[in-house]
C-alpha cells in the first residue's frame, strides 16, 4: 500500500484547472507514491531543503564521469578505459595495486592497465574505477566511535558478499553486484556531509536502542539514507542498476511491478548481503573485519531474502563461509580508499 505524499504538479495535470489560475496550496495534491513508501507528508519541506543541499555537493571527478559513460556504451572498448586511466596516475596505481592483490590473484601479476584489462575484463576494471572514484569524494564519516574505516569495511564486506552470492548461484553479473554492494549505503556519507547533527542523532539512537540505522530514520520520519543516496547517485548520473540498488536495499522488491526483473535480482542480492554482514559483524564475538555502518541491530536474515533468490535456509551457511573466505583475500581493499 502506498503512502500519501504531497507532490508539486503542473497546472495541466489538475482536472478542470486549465484556465483558472491556481493558488500555491491548490498546486499541492495528494498522490499515491507506491515507490516511495518511506516518504511522509511531514518530509515535504525537508525534501525541498535536501534538494538544495545536494545541489551544493561536488560533482563526480571527470574520470569517473567518463568511465560511467563507457559502462553504458555498448561500443566502448578496453582501449577507451586505458586511455582515460592514463590521465590519472594515482588512480591507475590504486587499480594496479588491487589487481595485483590476492583478491584477484592474477598469475604472475600485471604491471600496466592494458594487461589488467586483458585479465579482468573491461567491466571489472570499469566498475572498480567508478567505485573508487565515488568513495574518493568522501574522507570522513561517523562520530567518536564510528570511523570512515569502519564504514569502508562494511561497504567492502557487503560488496564481497554480494559478489560471492552472484558468482556461486549465477544470479547477476558479479562485478555489478560488487559495485552495488560497495555503494549501497552511500546515502549515510551524504548525510554526514550535509547534516552532521542528524547523523550524530541517528547513530546515538540506533546505538542506544540496538536498532538499525533505517529503523531510527523511520521512527523519526526522516528521509532515509537509501532515498538520499539514490538522489545523490542520480545527480551524479550513476548507472540505473546502481541507483536502484542504493534506493531499495532495505525494501522487499519482489512484488514491485515497476522494477525490471534483472534490477530486482541485484537489489535482492545486496539486501541479503547487507543483512548477512550486519548479522555476522554484530554477533557476540563477531567478525571485526566486517566493519560498522551505524546499524546496531542483530541483523535478521528473513526467509524471504533467501527465497526471493531461489535459496534455502541452509544456503545461509554457505554464504557466510564464502564471505569469510573472500574477506581474507580482500585486505588490499582496506587501503584502497586512501
Which residues of the chain form contacts with Fe ion (CB under 5 A)? 185, 274, 293
Nearest distance from C-beta of residue 273 to Fe ion, angstroms = 9
d(CA 234, CA 226): 12
181, three cell numbers: 554492494
Angle at the Cα of 15 from the Cα atoms of 11 and 16, rounded to 5 degrees: 90
Closest CB to Fe ion among residues 31, 297: 297
Closest CB to Fe ion among residues 38, 185: 185
Nearest distance from C-beta of residue 39 to Fe ion, angstroms = 17
The residue among 213, 215, 218 whose CA lies nearest residue 200 is 213
DSSP H helices, 236-314, are: 240-247, 261-282, 303-307
d(CA 150, CA 293): 7
d(CA 180, CA 115): 25
- Say if residues 245 and 264 touch (Cβ distance below 8 Å): no
Nearest distance from C-beta of residue 278 to Fe ion, angstroms = 7
The residue among 118, 106, 128 whose CA lies nearest residue 77 is 118
Nearest distance from C-beta of residue 125 to Fe ion, angstroms = 25
The residue among 290, 48, 299 whose CA lies nearest residue 159 is 290
DSSP element (H, E) containing 219: helix 213-219
d(CA 272, CA 168): 14
Closest CB to Fe ion among residues 126, 180: 180
Angle at the Cα of 149 from the Cα atoms of 143 and 151, rounded to 5 degrees: 70
Nearest distance from C-beta of residue 118 to Fe ion, angstroms = 34
Closest CB to Fe ion among residues 7, 282: 282
Task: Give the helix, strand, coil percentages of the chain, each rounded to 5.
Answer: 60, 5, 35
Closest CB to Fe ion among residues 6, 227: 227
Nearest distance from C-beta of residue 212 to Fe ion, angstroms = 8
Closest CB to Fe ion among residues 71, 272: 272
Closest CB to Fe ion among residues 171, 275: 275
Nearest distance from C-beta of residue 181 to Fe ion, angstroms = 9
Nearest distance from C-beta of residue 43 to Fe ion, angstroms = 18
Closest CB to Fe ion among residues 176, 185: 185
Amino acid at each position: 500500500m502506498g503512502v500519501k505524499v504531497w507532490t508539486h504538479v503542473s497546472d495541466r495535470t489538475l482536472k478542470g484547472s486549465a484556465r483558472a489560475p491556481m493558488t500555491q496550496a491548490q498546486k499541492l495534491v495528494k498522490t499515491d507514491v507506491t515507490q516511495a513508501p518511506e516518504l511522509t507528508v511531514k518530509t515535504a519541506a525537508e525534501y525541498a531543503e535536501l534538494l538544495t543541499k545536494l545541489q551544493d555537493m561536488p560533482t563526480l571527478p571527470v574520470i569517473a564521469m567518463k568511465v560511467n559513460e563507457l559502462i553504458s556504451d555498448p561500443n566502448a572498448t578496453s582501449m577507451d578505459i586505458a586511455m582515460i586511466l592514463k590521465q590519472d596516475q594515482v588512480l591507475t596505481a590504486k587499480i594496479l595495486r588491487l589487481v595485483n592483490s590476492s583478491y584477484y590473484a592474477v598469475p604472475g601479476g600485471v604491471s600496466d592497465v592494458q594487461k589488467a584489462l586483458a585479465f579482468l575484463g573491461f567491466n571489472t576494471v570499469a566498475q572498480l574505477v567508478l567505485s573508487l572514484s565515488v568513495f574518493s569524494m568522501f574522507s570522513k564519516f561517523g562520530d567518536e566511535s564510528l570511523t570512515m574505516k569502519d564504514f569502508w569495511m562494511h561497504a567492502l564486506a557487503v560488496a564481497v558478499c554480494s559478489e560471492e552470492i552472484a558468482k556461486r548461484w549465477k544470479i547477476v553479473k558479479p562485478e555489478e553486484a560488487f559495485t552495488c554492494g560497495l555503494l549501497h549505503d552511500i546515502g549515510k556519507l551524504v548525510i554526514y556531509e550535509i547534516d552532521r547533527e542528524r547523523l550524530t542523532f541517528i547513530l546515538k539512537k540506533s546505538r542506544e536502542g540496538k536498532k538499525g540505522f533505517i529503523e531510527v530514520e523511520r521512527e523519526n520520519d526522516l528521509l532515509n539514507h537509501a532515498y538520499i543516496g539514490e538522489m545523490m547517485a542520480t545527480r551524479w548520473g550513476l548507472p540505473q542498476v546502481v541507483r536502484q540498488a542504493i534506493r531499495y536495499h532495505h525494501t522487499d522488491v519482489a512484488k514491485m511491478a515497476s522494477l525490471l526483473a534483472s534490477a530486482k535480482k541485484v537489489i535482492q542480492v545486496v539486501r541479503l548481503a547487507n543483512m548477512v554482514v550486519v548479522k555476522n559483524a554484530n554477533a557476540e564475538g563477531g567478525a571485526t573485519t566486517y566493519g560498522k555502518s551505524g546499524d546496531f541491530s542483530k541483523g535478521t536474515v528473513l526467509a524471504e531474502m533467501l527465497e526471493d533468490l531461489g535459496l534455502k535456509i541452509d544456503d545461509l551457511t554457505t554464504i557466510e563461509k564464502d564471505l569469510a573466505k573472500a574477506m581474507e583475500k580482500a585486505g588490499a581493499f582496506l587501503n584502497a580508499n586512501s
